[in-house]
Amino acid sequence: MRIAGKPRQAPDRGAALAQYRRRAAVYDLELALFEPIRRRAIALLALRHGEVVLDVGCGTGLSFEPLEQGIGAGGRIVGIEQSPEMIERARERVRRLRWKNVKLLCAPVEEAAIAGRADAALFHFTHDILQQPAAVANVLRHLKPGARVVASGLKWAEPWRWPTNLLVLPAALRSVSSLEGLDRPWAALAAAMPDLDVQSALMGAVFIARGTLSVPP
Domain ranges in the chain are 13-212
Question: Which helix (H) or strand (E) is 160 found in, with range?
Answer: none
- 13-212: CATH topology is Rossmann fold (3.40.50)
pTM: 0.93
Q: What is the pLDDT of residues 43-68, one digit of tens each?
A: 999 999 999 999 999 999 999 999 99
Q: Are 63 and 70 in contact (CB under 8 A)?
A: no
The closest alpha carbon to 38, from 13, 22, 59, 15, belongs to 59
Q: What is the pLDDT of residues 195-209, one digit of tens each?
A: 999 999 999 999 999
Instruction: Please state which of the ranges 1-15, 42-56, 136-150, 152-166 shows the lowest mean pLDDT.
Output: 1-15
